[in-house]
Amino acid sequence: MTTLAANTAGSIRAATVAGGTWAYLTSPRGELHAALVAGGLLLTGFVVRQADAGLGSAMIWASLALGLFHGGRAAWEAISARKLDIDVLMVVGALAAARMGHPAEGALLLFLFVLSGALEALAMARTTRAVEALHKLMPTYAERWVGEGAGGEAWEKIAPEALEPGDLIRIPPGESVPADATVAEGTSSINQANLTGESMPRTVRPGDPLYAGTINVGDPLRACVTRRARESSLQKILDLVTTAQQQREPVQRLIDRISEPYAIAVLAVSLAVLLVWWLVLGDSFHEAAFAATTLLIVASPCAVIIATPTATLAGIARAARAGVLFKGGQAIERLARLGAIAFDKTGTLTIGKPRVRQLHPVGWSNEEALLEAAAGLEQESTHPIAAAVRDAARERGLTPLAVAEPGFTVGRGVSGSIEGKAARLGNLIFTEELIPVCLRARVREVLAGVQQRGQIGSVIVWNEQAGVIILADSVRPGAERLVRDLHALGVRPVVMLTGDNRATAAAVAAGLGLDEFHAEMLPQDKVDAVERLKARLTKGSSRSAAGVIGDGVNDAPALAAADVSIAIGSIGSDAALESADIVLLADDLGAIPWAVGLARRTRRTILFNLCFALGAIVVMAAAVLIGSRTGRPLPLWMGVLGHEGGTLLVVANSLLLLVAGGVPAATAVRD
């Protein structure tokens, strides 16, 4: 069983490439078809035997032989490796049944055994489709600029692996981005759904990043390659998911360690039953062998061994489709125990990019004139506030005023000359000497109100006029419902840790309904706060894990201190992909409660699978032993159906995780 289940999507693809009858027969799909043929022969043999005993028996033995081809191959591989596993137990059970004159029961056992093994392999292949989808995203070619020719620009088609940082590439509409790059020319929309789960394309302009495997759904773009294809974000994500699917939960590691000793114990107990029933209790050899064979079949732990990996892989695959990357079963297990959580503010709860929220003219004729002057002063600046001012002017369709003699004072602001008159934009200390005396008190009053609300105020002065540009960071999509959804899951408290000033932190915390916030913190302060948060939780309970969510870069110490660490909005962040237990590729905070819910559902599925599988073994083994001593032996076919049917039910229950609901759509962003 375990050997069959180990043949995942990779072996299916390898079998297809290799070709040939043997490759087909030994693939999971070939095993499935062989099992169906064996089942058909067995059913037909039962029917035909009523009219023609010889022909019917021949068909039953043919079914048994076909089952032995696949079951025996797996058993021989185990024996060759000097292992005694479930594959060996099943073949021994089938041969023993046939030897006792029950070839139909032996054929039924191998039919269901091979069928369940093939279905397990195909089910696991289905759970790896997230990896297959990422493989399909890998671009197959790139168009690289090679220079100017007689007929104009010359471009060559090359393999993405041949691209080097600094190469200029073009990306036509409908084509994939061949490597991580930065837009050099053009404006377009990029579909990132296969990587982040985001339903809406992202608008990109010159200077914006592009990621390998995303699709240009708008106008043509030219871009400058920033990383080789093998170092791209897509490749890192692919490696992460592949590694995650190879990791095992603590429960599964325990099962792996005890599976071989358990199989030996089952064989030993079955042999002991045979000898005791025959030599001590006086049963006939046939009756004793019948009881021992039935016990061997029903006590085999097929369902136990498959209970954890199928559920874990299904959970990882479902999360990956939604842009949530679990780094293995341990990450799922820890997230399922989440009882309290701490968020960084800038770049996590908020986008980390200020936007102009309000224009407050003080002695200015109108807002448009104020913004035109401000955009002119910020035209050459790379500061985030400058970008916000320029964006606000562009959104309103305004043209920045021409500025002469532009200057920049670190930590203070920008200056220049507009229409021959001095102009400044920045903090109050930098701009105050140009503010008319009659307007200074009003400017201070407006700035005081801005600071109380936790916003940012930037003063602009020109031509005896003054104004205050009010900016604020935007919370991420999904933040509106974040605390409510986490509380509904029993995660409390929800805490914010930030190095920002107290007024700004208080405003964000109040707006989102956070339980607590701690401001003006250094990295070590955040680590101490995480340790205190962990101490508040009850150890050993189902809600004993403390989580930290950050951007994966400057929050590294706090992430390392947490029981479970999550990096958000980090498709292009190598640090996040490497440091966090879980990575959210999209910006939607609503994915966090959803991921917690999925982790808990996965754990419940594993627990149910294990309890069901172990309970079925105990009940059926007891029925075999009690029935054999009371003169009502459990029919061999019933033991076969109970054992293999339980395995199929466990697999089907795990696959339900693949149809778990998606991340709820983000609500409107609130300032």
**Measured between alpha carbons, how far is 633 from 636 in angstroms, rounded to an integer?**
9
Which residues, 6 or more positions from 372, have their beta carbon under 8 angstroms from its beta carbon? Answer: 393, 398, 399, 400, 401
**CA distances for 95 relative to 31, 99, 296, 642, angstroms:** 20, 6, 12, 19
Residue with tokens 């070619």: 141
**CA distances for 180 relative to 168, 187, 404, 549, angstroms:** 12, 17, 38, 25
**Is 344 considered catalytic here?**
yes
Catalytic hit among 85, 167, 344, 563: 344
Q: Which residues pair with 417 in a beta bridge?
A: 404, 422
CA atoms 633, 635, 638, 644: torsion sign: positive
Which residues, 6 or more positions from 258, have their beta carbon under 8 angstroms from its beta carbon? Answer: none
Closest CA relative to residue 126, chosen from 658, 598, 660? 658
Are the C-beta atoms of residues 109 and 97 closer than 8 Å to each other? yes
**Measured between alpha carbons, how far is 401 from 419 in angstroms, rounded to an integer?**
9
**CA angle (401 as vertex; 470, 433 as ends), nearest 5:** 60
Residue with tokens 């603590």: 250
Rounded to 5 degrees, φ, ψ at 152 are 115, -150
Helix, strand, or coil here: 553?
Answer: coil
Are the C-beta atoms of residues 507 and 611 closer than 8 Å to each other? no
Buried b (16+ CB within 10 A) or exposed e, 633-661: bbebebbbebbbebbbbbbebbbebbebe
Rounded to 5 degrees, φ, ψ at 424 are -140, 150
CA 102 to chain centre: 48
Rounding to the nearest 10 degrees, give the CA dihedral for residues 17, 18, 19, 24: -100
Are the C-beta atoms of residues 469 and 359 closer than 8 Å to each other? yes
Q: What is the DSSP-derived secondary structure letter of residue 173?
A: T
Residues serving a catalytic function are 344
